Structure 1
Amino acid sequence: MQRNQSSPLRFIDRCHEIAELKSYLDDAIKGEGRTVFISGEAGVGKTRLINELQDYASSKNIRCLNAECVPQGSKPYMLFVNAFKEVAEHLIHIKEEFAAVEEVFLINRAGVVMAHESKTEGGIDSDIVGGMLTAVQDFVKDSFADKASVSGLARLDYGDKKILMEHGRTVFVTIVISGQESDEIRNDMKNMVSVIEKNYINVVEKWNGDISKLSGIKNIIKTLPRKKYSVERKLDSGEMESEKIKLFDGALQTVLKISEQQPLLLFLDNLHWADSSSLQLLHYLSRNTRNAKIMMCGAYRHEEIVKGHPLIKIMEMMKAEKLFVDMRLDAFRVENIPDFIYSLLGKNAFPDEFISKIGTETEGNPFFIEELLKTLVEEGIVYKKERKWYAKDVAEIETPKTIKDVVFRRINHLDEECKDVLKYAAVIGKDFDFNVLQKTMNKDEEELASLLEKIIEVGIFKENGILHFVHPMTQEVLYRELPNFKKTVVHKKAGFALEAMHPKNVEENSAMLAYHFSKGGVPDKTMLYAIKAGDRARKMFSFDEAEKYYKLALNGIEKLEESMENKKTKVLLLNKLGGAYFVLGEWNNALECAKESEKLSKETGDEKQTAESFRNIGQINENRSEWDDSLRNYEKSLQITERIKDNQGIAESHKGLGWIHWRKGEYDEAIEHYTLAVKYGEKIGLIPVTASAYISLGSIYGKRG
């Protein structure tokens, strides 16, 4: 069915609403920014209303930007990143810190350096190398003599450098880094040891000093100095909130600059699927654009907003500040349905009985009406004769009762191959890439292209750079009605297809990969990519999203076979999740994570992690004003970190103890601990701890006079 082409699609039964929106836009042009939320059931015409407003905006030389939320694989601030991608390359500025691998040594059981690669030509000064090697070689001998001590001695501090070591059966990989240690560095080191011992075990065990036999190994170890590792910034909750405001303000300044060049109309669709970070940024922008030439419109389905939904919380806060206008769209009234049908088909001779039945059965929902008419045309019940549309006996019309019926009645006219394409596409998502679909289906490119043309022709898909479902409800219904086993298989295939297509960009796609692999029943991949997605969210101060992905990663690891390595990974995950809970103020959940982390780290023999768990518990006690409990846990951490010579842990423990003694009015003890925090922090270049300790010392001395 083709739309009536004799005139533009007329706007039906929304005169009051469009007039109100135009008046708000006129205000925005004058520098009186506006935010409007438009709600209504699926298919009621929210997007169509905004399209009409955008036509008006274009006539006024107003820049129109759009973005819509998707229900799966969301990334922090994705809504705004997508909206501004064509006019602002980096709307969200992330301040990142990196660690660089400067030297790599491969050392055998005897403590002999077999291979050495350096980031810079010639490497570091020979005297420094000699000092490092003395420390490393002593460590190697001690470790092979007493393997139980390996986990506690996996890192040495050497001036402002860190020496990290990964132990194998026959060799050590030892690296010198500048910057913080990261999980990714550790994983690369473990993989390197594994590859070397798997593929070059005979070379290692029988090595007689002949360098020429190590060419393969040298090619492996030279990859580390070429990489740059993003590391987690060590910030307390106050610093994190400050950095988040800086991030928001950076986005605000970019948006204001764009609006100064040309007034801006921003449309954000499907807010019921928005990630929490996007909603928080929406609130911030709304508050700070009230004197700007900006109008923001957000649309959502009211039936999707249930108790606890993040949009409810944001709207409650915005309502208290009188930041938005709420507009509710209802279905068409009976008297407007003939005009809507005319706008779709053109001239017709439909009897009143036909119009009445259409209106009654669809309850005036525009999406239902349009999809039903398309189906009736395809079935020959509505037909065209001499430039006019007619309907057969009304009794022949079997009207669908639900959205599901509407969708399936439409696709039943397609052949089985097209239906199969629809099913695969529905699993991939509302928007999908041709190549991902092709790899997921393992279908010939030309054959798939022909099938897609058929589906586009009947109006179910459209193409705009990438492929889309014309209406989100079609994708939702198709996905919901697929058997679970089919969903699992397709999600798994989609995950591997997406992974294969973007091997060097897994960070960017980690959220979607975690989603597909979790739904596809691949727990190891779920864990891997959910951790990456959580880390990415944390760097962007989107702790709600970080919490979601860390929980997904834990769910993945619970499905893996129990092993010492998986226990260690679980400890790291619990610390990450606990950190997200802590920043969100969910202290009971944070405490539960810290206690479980402490228990598991003792089982793995990782004293460094045990100490960190005690510090985390101490910090939670501290925020609850449980001073004595906090003191005990910080002291437990200090005892462990001093025994294993973990300077970072020592500095952080003293900083925590200094704070507690200060709160208790024990100034001498506080000064002593803060002074030691400075000493150990400066020793290893731990700037955040050192700076915080200096500030606290200044405050204490100032208070004492």
Structure 2
Amino acid sequence: MSAHADLCAMLGAVETRSVSPVFVGRAGELTALTEALSRATAGEPQALLIGGEAGVGKTRLIEEFLDAACERGAVVALGGCVELGADGLPFAPFATALRSLHRRLPGELLAAAHGHEAELARLLPELGDPGGQDSSDEDSTARLFELTVRLLERLAADRTIVLVLEDLHWADASTRHLLTYLLRTLRRGRIAVVASYRADDIHRRHPLRPLLAELDRLRTIRRIELARFSRTEVHRQLTGILAAEPDPGLVDEVFERSDGNAFFVEELVVSHEAGCAAGQLSDSLRDLLLVRVETLPEDAQRVARIVAEGGSTVEYGLLAAVARLSEDDLIEALRAAVGANILLAAPDGDGYRFRHSLVREAVSDDLLPGERSRLNRRYAEALEADPTLVRADERANRLATYWYHAHDPAKALPAVLGASVATRKRHAYAEQLSLLERAMELWDKAPAETRDSLRPIDYADAYPACGCDPDTTSLRFLDLLAEAAVAARLSGERERAAKICRTALRILDDENDPLRAAWFWTETARLQSNLGRGDGWPEIARAQELVKGLPPSAVHATVLVGAAGWGMLRNPGPEALAAAERAVEYARFVKNEPIELNARITLGTIMVSAGDTEGGLAALHQARERTIALGQFHEATRAHINISSSLEALGRSREAVEIATTGIDLARSRGLVDSAGWIRANLSESLLSLGEWDRSKEEAEELLRSGASSTKPGGTALLQLAHLAAARGEPARAAEHLAEARTRYGTRDPIPQYTLPMAQVEIAIAAAEGRLADVRHQLAAMADAGFPPGTHRYGWPLVLTAVTAEADSRGLPAADEGRAEALDVVRRCVRGLAVQAPVWEAYSLQVSEELARAEGRDTAARWAEVVAAYEPVERPYQLARARHRLADALLVEGGRREEATALLREAHATAVRLGARPLREDVELLAARARLSLAAEKPPAAAEPGDDTFGLTPREQAVLGLVAAGRTNRQIAEELFISPKTASVHVSNILAKLGVSGRGEAAALAHRLHLLDPAL
């Protein structure tokens, strides 16, 4: 056994020993943790966040909890965030925890990861080589997140797992995003997730602060904040440390100076026992933390300073290479530092770390500037001489950090760029951005020969070749800006991405490089839309102008795809079609099949919108099959998104559901969570059309609950919930969903596929609340904006909702004013809407007959045509509404009571099944008015002439007629020769019998149900 191995064995018991042998306080917090463990063991995943200032006892609480968890047979996986500044290791705590699970459960973990080893290797390199992954895939991070959650769920299916992530205040952005996703989506398995963070480090702009605020809104997460000890608890802690009753004066002094911080109590007591009077200590925290380090032998102090600058944990071999001590001297120095409880052996036994990060910070801060640079240089040189001294997944980042802090730009620039490439391959885009920003800082400081030796092929992967030979041309600063812009966008830092693009475009103003400029303008267009600052068209137009007349290139094809995609969403007309066709042609010419397939998907979608339905669908299906064959699953899922949307636009909702379901399965199998969100939004819409309202709601809520989808799919999910709430008679809830959807969509890029459905919901809410003026205003606004090709799927429901509100309010004096103009607007809208499929033929007929009803000229024969049109197209809600109208018309025209009864029963059954309360009530009111039974087993009772409706007396019917005519109580009294007080009593009785809250509702109900007409 080597000297180092022998030392590790001897110190095994010391690694986690705390100075305080007695666990003080925290009984409530420990109970909360153990109760969560019990619930997790029962199959209910748990999540807890433990916060508190440095030294307050978070680690000790977790140690006690983990002891209890191990006693219960739980498998513990512990991972800590690594402090490496701006270039912190991505996913470090998850990688450490998974490595622990791999050691404990090797066979089970491999089985759980089967089929996805390459993706998961970005977190756990032991699973294989992640290098084959497409690092430019925007869904790659989401895929990694989904696969990680599924891995943990599978491992926790048959055993209890406790996943502990310490020191979140040092977490890199990728770790924070993965943790958020894990806590949002973990739904099954016997697993408890416990994360800790240092609360006093969370300043106002700390990146963890918004994450904590977001997690606080999740009711499934419990936050535990550790307070400082009281004097009584400090007394108990001192008693445990000293194994004797402490002197009251010592308790008072230690409590005052430590302010109840458990770690400071320990440090003060140990210093006191070593003969250092507490009063002799400096008031500065750093001096307090350094006092025990300074009592170590010189070699031990030297080793402590080396470990402090090496990172959170320093491997023994690397430490030996940097310390340049003999093995015996190094072992003795480590023995002294560990024996003084300043250093601890790392959990895997291969390195050393400070027992408390505060001590490490103090030691590092105490280094002289030249000393720090020299130590970092020695670390870098040792690592270059023997790369095996650290794990392969950490090597690039560690080397970049050391050379950067060594202040050697010639060595630091290529090291930082190399680390950025390694980080990009792991799809840790936030960390890649930090490294690229550091590279930009080093660019001008590095010698020219260093910059000239760098090649784009080694470091640039963000954008297509811009006309240069990557093998012979040197890397340019613009290449770094392009890489950084994409990394910023993919990591969600869109503001930073936009700023980088502006910097690049300013540089390009002085250069003749149209291809690079066009690429940056196209990227800026996307960011403008994402940031809600415009639709991006001016930027796309600028890019098109720059590539005009140039030979075909990948950049040219990218610009054309951007222009075609813009038109596909906003105006899928001839220009968008031509741009998509040229994009296909250019991409094929430069042999860039991913761009070509992307363009083909856009082209097929535009063809469907333009009326070439079969040709467009065929193109979409061909692109889908090709992308699957090539393994380009990001493009394949985009094809599923557009095919399901196009089928819904054609009224082929059942087919849309099938293709969407297949697409979701594909996306989930590949971890393409964001793509799954887009497809799920389409699925929810088609299920709503098919009358599967509960399932539609479930899909929308699942999309929102995942929290992983981008803004607009979430907006569409909220829009479906708003439609559903409006149809179910919940206008207030519909308004809430609509407001949130509008926030997600933004207001500066009015895309018709979002603005038109939002307007329909707004009209439905206004109609439900009796705000006819708002209905008319909203419809007029939409009519002025127009209905571009392909938007008939949104236009017909919108117009139908508005014209139905007009028809329902016929006969109200206040509503009659301005009705002719409003109906003219309806007719103007109808002229601009296409009728591409049978379902829209049905909508067209229904709109036409509602127009007639609004003018008092609808007929049973025409309503029968509407019913017949809806029967074959799987639109149960619209069919039920049409049956209700047909039954009403039949009863008005001549008492075809048996036919009307059958129609009302069918409509009522549908309304009950859907939960469509307004429709159900309308059907029930009409049946009650006509004395028809909705129960199939009871024959309808014949109406007796002269029967009152809803129990209204003849006098009340007369009063209701005057209320409907807009008369006041005084005018009613004058006309009927009664007192105003009596008129008021009659009106109150009428409102109560009709179950309405106001005169306007009573009048509307009277007209709608023909209560003022002769008996039906």
Q: TM-score, normalised by structure 2?
A: 0.50
Given that residues 525 and 537 in structure 2 are in contact (C-alpha distance below 8 angstroms), is that contact kept between their aligned partners in structure 1? no
Partner of 1:52: 64
Partner of 2:253: 357
Once residues 423 and 303 of structure 1 are traced to their aligned partners in structure 2, the CA distance between those partners, rounded to angstroms, is 25
Given that residues 80 and 92 in structure 2 are in contact (C-alpha distance below 8 angstroms), is that contact kept between their aligned partners in structure 1? no
Once residues 555 and 396 of structure 1 are traced to their aligned partners in structure 2, the CA distance between those partners, rounded to angstroms, is 45
Deviation digits for residues 6-32 of structure 1 (CA, Å, limit 9, x no counterpart): x99332112122112211211111122
Secondary structure at the aligned position of 2:446 is classed as coil
Once residues 685 and 543 of structure 1 are traced to their aligned partners in structure 2, the CA distance between those partners, rounded to angstroms, is 28
Specify whether residues 697 and 457 from structure 1 end up closer, same or farther in structure 2 by C-alpha distance, changes over 3 A only.
same
Which letter maps to 1:274? A
Partner of 2:587: 681
Q: Is residue 545 from structure 1 mapped to residue 557 from structure 2 by the alignment? A: no
Once residues 414 and 603 of structure 2 are traced to their aligned partners in structure 1, the CA distance between those partners, rounded to angstroms, is 42
Which letter maps to 1:47? T
Bigger shift: residues 469-478 or 512-521 = 512-521
Specify whether residues 599 and 500 from structure 1 end up closer, same or farther in structure 2 by C-alpha distance, changes over 3 A only.
farther
Bigger shift: residues 307-316 or 589-598 = 589-598
Partner of 2:197: 300
Specify whether residues 603 and 562 from structure 1 end up closer, same or farther in structure 2 by C-alpha distance, changes over 3 A only.
farther
Deviation digits for residues 167-208 of structure 1 (CA, Å, limit 9, x no counterpart): xxxxxxxxxxxxxxxxxxxxxxxxxxxxxxxxxxxxxxxxxx
Structure 1 residue 33 displacement after superposition = 1.6
* Ranges in structure 1 where 5+ consecutive residues have no aligned partner: 98-226, 382-394
The CA RMSD over aligned residues, in Å, is: 3.3
Structure 1 residue 476 displacement after superposition = 0.8
Structure 1 residue 520 displacement after superposition = 1.4
Given that residues 634 and 657 in structure 1 are in contact (C-alpha distance below 8 angstroms), is that contact kept between their aligned partners in structure 2? no
Given that residues 577 and 590 in structure 1 are in contact (C-alpha distance below 8 angstroms), is that contact kept between their aligned partners in structure 2? yes
- Structure number with the higher helix fraction is 2
Q: Is residue 695 from structure 1 mapped to residue 601 from structure 2 by the alignment? A: yes
Which letter maps to 2:437? K
Once residues 275 and 487 of structure 1 are traced to their aligned partners in structure 2, the CA distance between those partners, rounded to angstroms, is 24
Which letter maps to 1:533? A
Q: Is residue 486 from structure 1 mapped to residue 500 from structure 2 by the alignment? A: no
Q: Is residue 378 from structure 1 mapped to residue 274 from structure 2 by the alignment? A: yes
* Ranges in structure 2 where 5+ consecutive residues have no aligned partner: 1-12, 103-108, 122-128, 455-473, 612-1016
Secondary structure at the aligned position of 1:43 is classed as coil
Which letter maps to 2:309? V
Secondary structure at the aligned position of 1:260 is classed as coil
Q: How does 1:173-572 map to 2 (within 5 A)?
A: 233-235=135-137, 240=138, 242-346=139-243, 348=244, 350-379=246-275, 398=280, 401-463=283-345, 464-502=349-387, 508-561=394-447, 565=452, 568-572=475-479
Structure 1 residue 232 displacement after superposition = 5.4
Once residues 377 and 341 of structure 1 are traced to their aligned partners in structure 2, the CA distance between those partners, rounded to angstroms, is 12
Given that residues 543 and 559 in structure 2 are in contact (C-alpha distance below 8 angstroms), is that contact kept between their aligned partners in structure 1? yes
Secondary structure at the aligned position of 1:261 is classed as coil
Once residues 23 and 506 of structure 1 are traced to their aligned partners in structure 2, the CA distance between those partners, rounded to angstroms, is 39
Secondary structure at the aligned position of 1:87 is classed as helix
Q: How many residues align?
A: 550
Partner of 1:66: 78
Structure 1 residue 558 displacement after superposition = 2.6
Deviation digits for residues 239-260 of structure 1 (CA, Å, limit 9, x no counterpart): x1x3332211100011111111
Deviation digits for residues 385-405 of structure 1 (CA, Å, limit 9, x no counterpart): xxxxxxxxxx88545534323
Given that residues 93 and 165 in structure 2 are in contact (C-alpha distance below 8 angstroms), is that contact kept between their aligned partners in structure 1? yes
Deviation digits for residues 340-379 of structure 1 (CA, Å, limit 9, x no counterpart): 2232242x35432233322222222221122222222322
Secondary structure at the aligned position of 2:77 is classed as strand
Given that residues 615 and 637 in structure 1 are in contact (C-alpha distance below 8 angstroms), is that contact kept between their aligned partners in structure 2? no
* Structure with more contact order per residue of length (Cα contacts < 8 Å, sep ≥ 6): 1
Specify whether residues 605 and 506 from structure 1 end up closer, same or farther in structure 2 by C-alpha distance, changes over 3 A only.
farther
Once residues 260 and 251 of structure 1 are traced to their aligned partners in structure 2, the CA distance between those partners, rounded to angstroms, is 14
Q: Is residue 634 from structure 1 mapped to residue 543 from structure 2 by the alignment? A: yes
Structure 1 residue 699 displacement after superposition = 1.1
Which letter maps to 1:582? R
Q: How does 1:15-94 map to 2 (within 5 A)?
A: 15-72=27-84, 73-88=87-102
Once residues 465 and 71 of structure 1 are traced to their aligned partners in structure 2, the CA distance between those partners, rounded to angstroms, is 18
Specify whether residues 440 and 703 from structure 1 end up closer, same or farther in structure 2 by C-alpha distance, changes over 3 A only.
same
Given that residues 92 and 175 in structure 2 are in contact (C-alpha distance below 8 angstroms), is that contact kept between their aligned partners in structure 1? yes
Deviation digits for residues 279-306 of structure 1 (CA, Å, limit 9, x no counterpart): 1111111122244311111111111001
Given that residues 79 and 268 in structure 1 are in contact (C-alpha distance below 8 angstroms), is that contact kept between their aligned partners in structure 2? yes
Once residues 319 and 305 of structure 1 are traced to their aligned partners in structure 2, the CA distance between those partners, rounded to angstroms, is 15
Specify whether residues 228 and 699 from structure 1 end up closer, same or farther in structure 2 by C-alpha distance, changes over 3 A only.
closer
Given that residues 622 and 660 in structure 1 are in contact (C-alpha distance below 8 angstroms), is that contact kept between their aligned partners in structure 2? no
Given that residues 655 and 677 in structure 1 are in contact (C-alpha distance below 8 angstroms), is that contact kept between their aligned partners in structure 2? yes
Which letter maps to 2:359? T
Deviation digits for residues 307-340 of structure 1 (CA, Å, limit 9, x no counterpart): 2222111122222222321111122222223332
Bigger shift: residues 349-358 or 468-477 = 349-358
Secondary structure at the aligned position of 1:412 is classed as helix
Once residues 80 and 491 of structure 2 are traced to their aligned partners in structure 1, the CA distance between those partners, rounded to angstroms, is 26
Which letter maps to 1:80? F
Secondary structure at the aligned position of 1:64 is classed as strand
Once residues 20 and 213 of structure 2 are traced to their aligned partners in structure 1, the CA distance between those partners, rounded to angstroms, is 39
Given that residues 272 and 301 in structure 1 are in contact (C-alpha distance below 8 angstroms), is that contact kept between their aligned partners in structure 2? yes
Given that residues 436 and 498 in structure 1 are in contact (C-alpha distance below 8 angstroms), is that contact kept between their aligned partners in structure 2? yes
Structure 1 residue 47 displacement after superposition = 0.7
Secondary structure at the aligned position of 1:39 is classed as strand
Secondary structure at the aligned position of 1:340 is classed as helix
Specify whether residues 19 and 694 from structure 1 end up closer, same or farther in structure 2 by C-alpha distance, changes over 3 A only.
same
Structure with bigger gyration radius: 2
Q: TM-score, normalised by structure 1?
A: 0.71
Once residues 366 and 510 of structure 2 are traced to their aligned partners in structure 1, the CA distance between those partners, rounded to angstroms, is 45
Secondary structure at the aligned position of 2:256 is classed as helix
Given that residues 312 and 353 in structure 2 are in contact (C-alpha distance below 8 angstroms), is that contact kept between their aligned partners in structure 1? yes
Specify whether residues 396 and 20 from structure 1 end up closer, same or farther in structure 2 by C-alpha distance, changes over 3 A only.
closer
Which letter maps to 1:516? Y
Once residues 639 and 230 of structure 1 are traced to their aligned partners in structure 2, the CA distance between those partners, rounded to angstroms, is 36
Which letter maps to 1:581? A
Given that residues 239 and 246 in structure 2 are in contact (C-alpha distance below 8 angstroms), is that contact kept between their aligned partners in structure 1? no
Once residues 591 and 336 of structure 1 are traced to their aligned partners in structure 2, the CA distance between those partners, rounded to angstroms, is 53
- Structure number with the higher strand fraction is 1
Deviation digits for residues 560-605 of structure 1 (CA, Å, limit 9, x no counterpart): 2458838843111000111123335555543443344356568787
Deviation digits for residues 434-478 of structure 1 (CA, Å, limit 9, x no counterpart): 222232233333332332222222221122321111221111110
Once residues 507 and 633 of structure 1 are traced to their aligned partners in structure 2, the CA distance between those partners, rounded to angstroms, is 42
Specify whether residues 540 and 334 from structure 1 end up closer, same or farther in structure 2 by C-alpha distance, changes over 3 A only.
same
Specify whether residues 637 and 445 from structure 1 end up closer, same or farther in structure 2 by C-alpha distance, changes over 3 A only.
farther
Secondary structure at the aligned position of 2:352 is classed as strand
Structure 1 residue 271 displacement after superposition = 0.8
Once residues 247 and 398 of structure 2 are traced to their aligned partners in structure 1, the CA distance between those partners, rounded to angstroms, is 50
Specify whether residues 233 and 634 from structure 1 end up closer, same or farther in structure 2 by C-alpha distance, changes over 3 A only.
farther
Once residues 666 and 37 of structure 1 are traced to their aligned partners in structure 2, the CA distance between those partners, rounded to angstroms, is 49
